A and B are shown apart, each in its own frame.
Chain A
């Protein structure tokens, strides 16, 4: 829940394309042609054929220690089994974890500070060696090595005395906070209660790595598979071809159907090319899907008039919010009336249109996206309606001492790739104009943008921001943004309001101790609703993800965790 937003992670991500998906509370998800075919789909007779994956992101990392995923990723999850994994169900049910290598979701003790897992029987690597708890422990320890950086930062924070650990190459004694009393048991000792531990255990850092086969930074050339597929050929940044792993058994892994015999992944393509190829579907492209390219405006516009194409879309929701972030340390945003005025003035219709329309974004007034797993509670303290309430905004500005309007600067990214670019910025500018607020736009290069906004000393007063959750829970959504202890002065800060409220911090600690998801959800939602009253952000819209798939593809059902169809369950037969 810390320094790295999911979409940045997506760049680092091998191929997985986190920019994807999630649980779905909206009526749109789970509907469509694929839902019907899912009912008739039989995982026992789906085997055969070759699946083509067409992606933009280059495959730059394939080491389980270095991949940053939500729920284990799409492609990585074909190679790496983890202690737990996402349960791959559609809709709200899909936001829950399920046991993978472990027999259950883990046993908490000591107030959720100790978590114990037992491995299933008959688990093997691709070379036939049995998988032991030591292999899981070794995989986690490797991810602490500076040369294998890139994964989520949580474990370093959570494990007792692990923050200074430098990996097994320099410190072969390992991490004392992870115990393996026998080859089937692994115990984690945390420094503070973490009810979300089973959700973190879906990350590829929890995949077993055989110490005898570890070649350090070269390990990614052929990582040893524990999943249904293994690497046949891997050309960095270009192609990755997967074939069946003969030692994987469906008996121990009911979640992955592993239908195709082969999976060929091509990386580095243009988004328009990917969508056009899948839509046209000639030759091998009929068997094509993508894990990182949502549908473009071109195909989206065709969906209404092209029933064949309309049948070949998967609609899901990755939990993510696009919002305006205030820096209350900068005038005039120190005045809550100014922040409220802007909250009233925004036009969420033009903002949603800037992102591509209601097919790919939904207007929201809450910071948490509307998903039960995150604890969503509706609220709208500054009702702007669909197109803004400039009259009310003017009234508040006059009270705040700006009867003749106000001039402010809005920082945004230079291009529209992340939906934080000129399109959205000009929509905001146009909406605030009606309330007498003159907005000067200030674009920054995408790479430089985070540097500027992530450092409290250079943080602008108002900026366009995006936040996605590392796993479907309220914690990773609210903690980095509103926990005062997460303010990082040196850069990489996401608590842009620079809020450090002891009451909020204490509530976060209290919720982290809860191991019952339903209870925790209610508390996260209540916390979000309470924070909303301070108008520290202006939530604009939540993300909806529409993916195309090829003509021959069956069972392309978006899972509730990532909102994206799962390669482990797709068939081309």
Chain B
């Protein structure tokens, strides 16, 4: 779904001929690109919120799992007070039925959403780059075998596959880890394609040929000559993978096969909100808004990076 769309688009984009841009230059240009800089700031704030979730909830004086039966209407479970019980001690109100603090759940949910998204992206990049370089450097047989494997992973209906995988994983493994691995396993294909294309173009460069001729073993060639050239395009692509992984996590948690209660997650909060949005639309707006803003930030950043790296682009001053 979203995953595939982003994958296809980005995989086709970075031309194999674009020369690798020095990281320092990329950073400098990023700061001058307004949209990308905005995205970066928002992401930084979200990461800080996630990291300091215990501090923030301590400031508020709440925690994400304690149930407050005194804060909801005992007859029907709706929060007491206006706008879902917003007050000085409950900044975003409380959850219907349980009376759990929504702000605490939101900031702790950021940990899950960002943690799983980053974790899954790291695993995807690891798998994708390894397979991509192996395909690019290997012989025709290896290339076509790995190519078919990549095609297969891209063609797989990932939601169904992920639901199936989640069902058979034993309970003893921590759920966030399982989610990150499952999401990564079903969506590494785009990275592999990108890495393969880049490897194929780098392979013909003189310095790579020189290394090969001087007798460097393939692993060393891959690590010392190819890998540095992959960093910028893969990082750009990874910036697009993070939001799509976030959607995947939210989607699976929404469907009830992701993060398990009582651990808060934005997807789960959204799913809860769908039964309660008529009494108070805030239950959908809060987690939905957090998800939207974070996704938008990542998209802005990735777009900016791509724009800067595009050799045809002359708008941005060097």
Contact = CB atoms under 8 A, between A and B. Distances in A.
A298 B97 CA distance: 12
Nearest to B97: A353
Nearest to B277: A298
A414 B278 CA distance: 26
B74 A357 contact: yes
Given A298-B275, A415-B256, A430-B65, A349 B97 contact: no
Given A302-B279, A427-B98, A353 B74 contact: yes
Task: Provide the main secondary structure of the chain A interface.
Answer: helix
A350 to B, nearest CB: 4
Interface in B83-125: 96-99
A406 interface: no
A427 B67 contact: yes
A430 B66 contact: yes
A442 interface: yes
A350 B67 contact: yes
A423 B76 contact: no
Nearest to A356: B77
B98 A350 contact: yes
Max count, chain A CB within 10 A of own CB: residue among B77, B78, B99: B77
B260 A352 contact: no
A298 B78 CA distance: 10
Interface residues of A, number: 34
A425 interface: yes
Interface string A344-360: 00010110111011110
Contacts of A430: 65-67, 262
B266 to A, nearest CB: 17
A272 B276 CA distance: 11
Contacts of A356: 76-77, 97
Interface string B248-290: 0000000010001110000000000001101100000000000
B171 interface: yes
B7 to A, nearest CB: 31
A301 B171 contact: no
A357 B65 contact: no
Nearest to B261: A422
A443 B171 CA distance: 9
B256 A352 contact: no
A441 B77 CA distance: 23
Given A297-B276, A298-B275, A302-B279, A352 B67 contact: no
Contact of B278 (A298, A303, A350, A415): A298
Nearest to A349: B69
A426 interface: yes
A429 interface: yes
Contact of B76 (A301, A441, A443): A301
B72 interface: yes
A353 B72 contact: yes
Contacts of A399: none
Given A347-B67, A353-B97, A354-B98, A298 B74 contact: no
A296 B77 CA distance: 11
B261 A301 contact: no
A387 interface: yes
A469 to B, nearest CB: 25
B77 A353 contact: yes
A414 B75 CA distance: 25
Interface of B: 65-67, 69-70, 72-78, 96-99, 171, 256, 260-262, 275-276, 278-279
18 contacts: A296-B275, A297-B275, A298-B275, A298-B278, A302-B278, A304-B76, A350-B67, A350-B99, A353-B69, A353-B99, A356-B77, A356-B97, A422-B260, A427-B98, A430-B65, A430-B66, A431-B67, A442-B171
